[in-house]
Structure 1
Amino acid sequence: MNKANINYKQIFRDILEKKYPHKKEECISLLNKEYLSVLDVITLNKKIFGSPNSSTKAFNQSHRAYNESTVIHILNFQKKHHLNNSELAIHFKISRHTISKWRKEYFSIAI
């Protein structure tokens, strides 16, 4: 199944309805957005399930994928908050080498 066909809003609504109704209010603002970005999905996941243990963090980190609009959002966040690559990498829990690669690829788009 293509990522574009996954209805994350409905998945998270079902999870909240069936297992975590007490967290619904906390997540409603994100679920009411017209479009959920990759960062929104990560935020919702953290709000619903809490912070994962270290082995789960490592597994999840190695399986993240960022689309172009998310990369541009992250690079614009860096510019807006005057962060260097290391600070940005820590903030978003991304490799600083990945940040450097993105800056080379998207420099003209994001900046």
Structure 2
Amino acid sequence: MRTIPDYKKIYHDIILKICPEREPEFKYFLDKETLLSWDIVKLDNLIFNKKDQDSVVFNQRHRSYDDETILYIIKYQKEHKMNNSHTSKYFRISRNTLTKWKKIYKI
């Protein structure tokens, strides 16, 4: 059986250790019942302010998405009437990946 890390607890501890004065800024994420992988990416970027291009490229290549996040991205695209190019730029994923997801989920 595969267990999932408690990301809320992990990120709450990181926030308290690194930047406790910014805790209210992250309240939205920490109050959610479960964090999607997209939420984790956002939290990570907000906390660590990753601006280094090399780290952005490296992290982008090693990113993985769960089913909930994939469906969230596709739903976001439909709700905001975005095409694949705009959606891929917004979420920093390839157009081919987005197209593949839409075929897999038949959306």
TM (norm. structure 1) is 0.89
Choose 11-20 or 86-95, whichever is displaced more: 11-20
Q: C-alpha deviations, 1:32-65, integer Å up to 9, x for none?
A: 1110011111111111111331000011001111
What SS does the corresponding residue of 2:50 show, helix, strand or coil?
A: coil
Shift of 1:4: 4.2
Choose 4-13 or 69-78, whichever is displaced more: 4-13
User: 2:23 maps to which residue?
Assistant: 24
**Aligned equivalents of 2:59, 2:96: Cα separation in 1:** 18
User: 1:60 maps to which residue?
Assistant: 59
**Aligned equivalents of 2:69, 2:29: Cα separation in 1:** 16
What SS does the corresponding residue of 1:94 show, helix, strand or coil?
A: coil
Consecutive unaligned residues in structure 2, runs of 5 or more: none
Consecutive unaligned residues in structure 1, runs of 5 or more: none
**Aligned equivalents of 1:54, 1:72: Cα separation in 2:** 28
TM (norm. structure 2) is 0.92
**Aligned equivalents of 2:64, 2:34: Cα separation in 1:** 17
1:1-111 correspondence to structure 2 within 5 Å? 4-108=3-107
Amino acid aligned to 1:107 = K
What SS does the corresponding residue of 2:42 show, helix, strand or coil?
A: helix
- Identical amino acids, percent of aligned pairs: 36
Shift of 1:19: 1.3
Shift of 1:22: 1.9
Aligned length: 107
User: Cα gap change, 1:61/1:104 in structure 2, threshold over 3 Å: closer, same or farther?
Assistant: same
Which 4+ stretches in 1 moved above 6 angstroms? none
